[in-house]
Amino acid sequence: MMKDIETFLNWIYYCMYKGEYKLSRLFRILNPVRLLVKMPFLKKRYEKLGVDIDKEIDSILYSKRFGVSVIYMGGILAGILFLVQMTISIIIIRILDIQITSYGIFLPIFFITSYFVCHVLIFKGDKYLSYFEKFDKWTRNKKIKYGLLSLSVVLTIISTFIFSLLM
């Protein structure tokens, strides 16, 4: 059971990472850092130093081990797990008609739990890297299928949270 949850979360994480990677690559022309380094005096300076600034920027942004995209998507996944916990608690509270004046007590608990789950099931021992290798071997059709499924899971979680607030 725990292995299935780990695989599921890593699959969602992988699809989110790949989606963000493709979107940021699509909009990389608008990246202000890239526009700055295209200035002639900076371009000449980096060429003189033998530095390919595009490779350096890509390694900072897209490295699977320490890249900004990996960190960013990890935070988004923790936020999604937080929304799942909030949604479940709101629905239970509404169904049982429990009077709670503030959800403030739940917030730190849910934040810590979300972080802990992400850390243990995804980041501890860089488990996600082995899953990334496994998922990178998927066919194009399988990647599209699982990408759309993960998008639908995330949108379902968000919409369920919104609807739970409106109950």
pLDDT, tens digit (0-9, with 9 covering 90-100), for 35-68 = 777 788 888 888 888 888 778 878 888 888 888 8
Between 2 and 9, the more confident residue is 9
CB distance 28 to 34 below 8 Å:
yes
Measured distance CA(123)–CA(129) in Å, rounded:
9
Q: How confident is the model at residue 73 (pLDDT cuts 50, 70, 90)?
A: very high
Phi, psi of 77 (to 5 degrees): -65, -40
Average pLDDT over residues 56-85: 88
Sign for the pseudo-dihedral over CA of 14, 19, 25, 30: negative
Rg of the chain over all Cα atoms, to the nearest angstrom: 20
The residue extents of the domains of the chain are 2-166
